[in-house]
Amino acid sequence: MSQSTQVRKIDVETIRQDFPILGREVNGYPLIYFDNAATAQTPKQVMDAIVDYYSNYNANIHRGVHALSQEATDKYEQARIKIQQHFNAEHAHEIIMTSGTTHGINLVANGFSSLLKSGDEILVSAMEHHSNIVPWQMLAEKTGAKLKVIPMNEKGELILDEYRNLISDRTKLVFVNHVSNALGTVNPVKEIIDIAHEAGAAVLIDGAQASPHIKADVQELDVDFYVVSAHKMCGPTGVGMLYGKQEWLEKLPPYQGGGEMIATVSFEKTTYAGLPHKFEAGTPNICGGIAFGAALDYMNSIGFEEIASYEDELLQYATSRLKEIEGMKIYGEAEEKTAVISFNVEGLHPYDIGTLLDKMGIAVRTGHHCAQPVMDFFKIPGTVRASFAFYNTKEEIDTFMEALKKALMMLQ
């Protein structure tokens, strides 16, 4: 690598100052937060945006003529444009504000219930979060469409040859996560999308787990739908976005009826508002949307290449250190991975390990991670999952390793 193309190193110590929570103690130990795949921590900059909203311009949007309402509307629509620019959507009205990934997926699944018929096929991957499985099962039940599964291999990678065999002119929709929250696998979404499009199928990518690490470009991917949650990328819970290509969003019927999504209402007939309002019934999470915009500003000020490169260092370091442990089994060894490590230690229950780590101030996740089919594939009830963010450090990994070794001694 030449000097000029080298990725700038991030200044972790300065960044950590932005996250007050990282200074607290848990059970008498300094908190080590390794549950970033479940939700990321919130920097001061995002909290400031929330306080500013409630302190200065809390009002309902799109309706009022008064100053507060107009300020709130402007800020909310600016946030939509930040999201549009971040994901490089062609139009701001292709960004639908949602309550999160789950909402976005349900919106699309509900819309397709009027477009699918018995005999149609929809494809899901073997490594999905329940929120990218259950809405499609409900859709399949309603329409008679058949749900088929793209299998994965022992390393936790999708088998693309099998995918090519599954896809046909009966396939109407393919939905795959960009990154698996249970395994960390980065899926080859561009290839998946191209193969689907050749067969005439649309594609929804669940970007919830990718968005904190990878800046997706929806136009370059040529994806039909892309969904994320703000809380995985340093924003608040209860807000997210659905990107949909304009032609698709025009084709899909509205999801919920209510205020804001209509053009005219009478008891005889209601006509719907244009995009994006057609899909945004009711008063939205105004403050949350604005804070989502602030979270994107914050992450972009650090830089996604910088974040990815630093987190990869943490991933490599933690992986090699974990392998020091006898009986260690890591699930998910794909070539392309984000900083998520799912593991078990032979003979021990993940829950016991997680509980002892918590006693030493370390937050990891244990269980099936809302991905039971992945656990079934490996024939395990669950794993311990450590997931890192750009504000974690190698020193924290060292402390985690000592605590883990202590926990294993107590359990073995």
Ligand X SMILES: *Cc1c(COP(=O)(O)O)cnc(C)c1O
Residue of the chain from 36, 229, 342, 383 that contacts ligand X (CB under 6 A): 229
Q: State the minimum distance, in angstroms, from the CB of residue 150 to ligand X.
A: 15
Give whichever of 239 and 403 is closer to ligand X, judged by the CB atom.
239
| Residue 29 phi, psi (nearest 5) | -115, 150
Give whichever of 105 and 196 is closer to ligand X, judged by the CB atom.
105
Q: Which of residues 346-375 bind ligand X (CB under 6 A)?
A: none
CA–CA separation, 143 and 140 (whole Å): 5
Nearest to 82 by CA among 103, 67, 97: 97
Residue of the chain from 100, 156, 254, 332 that contacts ligand X (CB under 6 A): 100
Nearest to 152 by CA among 115, 177, 118, 117: 177
CA–CA separation, 333 and 198 (whole Å): 30
Amino acid at 45: Q
Give whichever of 208 and 281 is closer to ligand X, judged by the CB atom.
208
Tokens for 122?
């929809």
Q: Which residues pair with 365 in a beta bridge?
A: 385
**CA–CA distance from 245 to each of 16, 208, 355 (Å)?**
37, 18, 44
Residue of the chain from 84, 101, 185, 344 that contacts ligand X (CB under 6 A): 101
| Residue 109 phi, psi (nearest 5) | -60, -40
Residue of the chain from 80, 129, 172, 385 that contacts ligand X (CB under 6 A): 129
Q: Which of residues 177-206 bind ligand X (CB under 6 A)?
A: 177, 181, 206
CA–CA separation, 128 and 286 (whole Å): 30
Residue with tokens 């309902």: 60
Give whichever of 84 and 187 is closer to ligand X, judged by the CB atom.
187
> What track of x and - describes contact with ligand X for positions 33 through 72 (by CB under 6 A)?
----------------------------------------
Amino acid at 71: E
Q: State the minimum distance, in angstroms, from the CB of residue 232 to ligand X.
A: 6
Q: State the minimum distance, in angstroms, from the CB of residue 181 to ligand X.
A: 3
Residue of the chain from 209, 211, 338, 366 that contacts ligand X (CB under 6 A): 209
Q: Which of 138, 149, 370, 401 is catalytic?
A: 370
Q: State the minimum distance, in angstroms, from the CB of residue 131 to ligand X.
A: 4
Q: Is 131 in the site for ligand X (CB under 6 A)?
A: yes
Give whichever of 73 and 366 is closer to ligand X, judged by the CB atom.
366
Q: Which residues contact 198 (CB under 8 A, 6 or more apart)?
A: none
Residue of the chain from 183, 204, 208, 357 that contacts ligand X (CB under 6 A): 208
Nearest to 202 by CA among 175, 242, 170: 175
- Helices 394-411 and 304-322: angle between axes, nearest 10 degrees: 30
Q: State the minimum distance, in angstroms, from the CB of residue 371 to ligand X.
A: 8
Residue with tokens 């699309």: 108
Q: State the minimum distance, in angstroms, from the CB of residue 285 to ligand X.
A: 12
Let me know if 234 is a catalytic residue: no
Task: Considering only the stretches 20-28, 129-137, 248-256, 381-389, report the one whose residues sit in contact with ligand X under the rule CB under 6 A.
Answer: 129-137
How many residues in the shown chain lie near ligand X by CB under 6 A?
13
Q: State the minimum distance, in angstroms, from the CB of residue 70 to ligand X.
A: 30
Q: State the minimum distance, in angstroms, from the CB of residue 91 to ligand X.
A: 24
Give whichever of 101 and 110 is closer to ligand X, judged by the CB atom.
101
Task: Considering only the stretches 5-13, 127-135, 289-297, 300-308, report the one whose residues sit in contact with ligand X under the rule CB under 6 A.
Answer: 127-135
Give whichever of 208 and 314 is closer to ligand X, judged by the CB atom.
208
Residue ranges that bind ligand X, judged by CB under 6 A: 100-102, 129, 131-132, 177, 181, 206, 208-209, 229, 232
Q: Which residues carry out catalysis?
A: 370
